[in-house]
Amino acid sequence: MNIIRPITQADYQALYDIAVESGIGFTSLPVNDDLLHRKVDRAQEAFTKANVTQPGDESYLFVMEDTTTGEVVGTSGIEAAVGIDDAFYHYHLSKVVHASRELNIHNTVEILTFCNDYTGVTEICTLFLREQARGGINGRFLSKVRFLFMMEHRERFSETIIAEMRGVSDEEGRSPFWEWLETHFFSMDFPTADYLTGIGNKVFIAELMPKYPIYVNLLSKEAQAVIGQVHDKTRPALQLLEGEGFSCRGYVDIFDAGPTVEANLSHIRTAQSSLKMPIVIDDAAAAQGQTHYIINTSVADFRAVATEIGVNEEQNIAVLSRQAAAALNVQEGDYVRLAPVKFRD
């Protein structure tokens, strides 16, 4: 069985290995010992922080553990409120019109405007599943469990949820969008800029990034072509989020121009369809149920599983197996929050 739980210091080596595997462009996990240790420390602080009444600088980092082998096979994270301590930059893609009635000329052009519009919103991030664990519902489980956690602890998060999607770059880390910026405004390659951002060194962005809107038609054709496009490896993650109700409102990454998608927590499909119920433990009855994503209601001792559970909405009870109850650290009468793996359309 796979469980999802808060990261601990004992998971550090697995996190480092995941950072190496994730590659260039996965900004939230740079290969840097100090930063990765700090991420684990911040996560432990966030999960143990009591009496949280509004989103702040909390950073929640989960791991997926294969309980059969004890191996950590993936990570998933939530930043409660971005841009509070460090500036959070985007480009916003919009249109301007240049028109002359006298000359009967009307031109609409796209522009990219440097902004901090998402300051204070919640970001889902750091989703990575190792090669050996890919398949089945593992990827969806690792992603969607965050919506259940946020729904259960709404006071800790913003109503607006965003996700930055990895933009187009090649195997060597070359980004067509960044190459245009590099030529005109920077003197560093994309992997270097991406790494500096990942370790929190963002001062250079404000110092060197063009301060005025950029006319898209002045960019190279290669750069124009990738604005709002995702890396091939990121396409499944984007499709999953779109299925949950996320959409792009014109915001793109300042380095690779990958899209940022957003949704209101109340409208995210998994969160909206979730139920909170007390449990009854019965192996036979649970086995007759449907597969759900299930979480306990704890923060510090958070656990999640994906397994069969019987749901009786009339009696307001959920029937769980002994194995699942043990994995969730719950007993009969305790509450869980659950959402179906397959929605009824």
- Name the residue type at position 75: T
Torsion of CA 184, 189, 193, 198, to 10 degrees: 160
- Name the residue type at position 46: A
DSSP string, 47-114: HH--S--S--S-EEEEEEEETTTTEEEEEEEEESSTTSSS---EEEEEEEEEEETTTTEEEEEEEEEE
Active site residues: 231
Report d(CA 321, CA 299) in Å as an integer: 22
Report d(CA 338, CA 291) in Å as an integer: 10
Report d(CA 24, CA 168) in Å as an integer: 11
Burial pattern 133-167, b for ≥16 Cβ within 10 A else e, equals beeeebbbbbbbbbbbbbbbbeebbbeebbbbbbb
Give the pair of three-digit tokens for residue 5: 């739980």
* Residue of 276, 279, 304, 297 whose CA lies nearest to 289: 279
- Integer Rg of the chain from CA: 22
Report d(CA 187, CA 208) in Å as an integer: 10
Spatial neighbors of 228 by CB under 8 A, at least 6 apart, are 93, 248, 252, 257, 258, 259
Report d(CA 129, CA 141) in Å as an integer: 11
The residue length of the chain stands at 345
